[in-house]
């Protein structure tokens, strides 16, 4: 008896984009079909000729066209950034993340509700709306930059510690050699300085 196995992928949209070679693409592009934002966002529905689904082979072909310079405009590139990492799982086997869909719907409803308040209850000028939106974007950018700075410091600390470990290993090897007492004292002093430097890095 033979059983046919089928692999499926479950995760969030960012993970899907990474696996399908579409990391950091605009959020306006659809993950499963080739529709442009002005196509899937139409109130009168989407024509059938615009509903073609992505396949792994088509994603690869699209990336090749980009590399060859035959596709340059974003509207033609369709958010394809790289070759798919997992090219053994069909695009259709990526399960739609319901939670992301619910969050998007709630966010849209909340934005529409805030627009109603702004236009009819607490009337804001266009300048005030611009300042408010700019503040929101600035806060998000600051949080992203803070996370990237922390990651950079963590990576740099690991590199520094590895460097000091190499120096310590070199000093230990030199201490095993036939050296004068003054040289040994100087090496031990260097060892203490390195150990203190490592402790200072870990304390940061």
- pLDDT tens digits for 2-42? 667 788 888 888 888 889 998 888 777 888 888 777 776 66
H or E element, residue 53 = none
- Please, what is the average pLDDT of the chain? 80
Higher pLDDT, 39 or 49: 39
- Using alpha carbons, select from 35, 29, 24, 9 the residue that is nearest to residue 87: 9
Range of 166's domain? 145-203
DSSP 8-state code for residue 92: G
Q: Is residue 84 part of a domain?
A: yes
Q: Judge whether residue 173 has pLDDT over 70.
A: yes
Statement to judge: residues 22 and 103 lie in one domain: yes
pLDDT of residue 56: 93
pLDDT of residue 197: 77
* Residue after which a domain boundary falls, among 48, 79, 107: 107
Q: Residues of the chain with pLDDT > 90: what percent?
A: 10
Number of domains in the chain: 2
């Amino acid at each position: 008896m033979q059983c046919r196995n089928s692999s499926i992928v479950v995760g969030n949209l960012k993970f899907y984009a990474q696996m399908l070679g579409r990391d950091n693409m605009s959020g306006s592009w659809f993950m499963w079909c080739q529709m442009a934002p002005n196509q899937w966002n139409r109130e009168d529905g989407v024509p059938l000729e615009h509903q073609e689904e992505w396949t792994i082979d088509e994603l690869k072909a699209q990336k090749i066209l980009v590399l060859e310079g035959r596709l340059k405009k974003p509207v033609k590139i369709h958010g394809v950034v790289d070759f798919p990492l997992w090219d053994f799982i069909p695009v259709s086997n990526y399960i739609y993340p319901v939670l992301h869909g619910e969050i998007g719907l709630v966010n849209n409803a909340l934005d529409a509700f805030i627009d109603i308040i702004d236009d009819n209850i607490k009337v804001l000028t266009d300048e005030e709306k611009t300042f408010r939106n700019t503040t929101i974007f600035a806060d998000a950018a600051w949080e992203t930059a803070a996370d990237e700075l922390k990651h950079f410091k963590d990576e740099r600390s690991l590199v520094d510690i590895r460097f000091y470990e190499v120096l310590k290993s070199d000093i230990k090897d030199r201490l095993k050699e036939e050296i004068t007492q003054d040289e040994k004292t100087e090496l031990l002093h260097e060892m203490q300085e390195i150990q203190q430097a490592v402790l200072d890095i870990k304390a940061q």
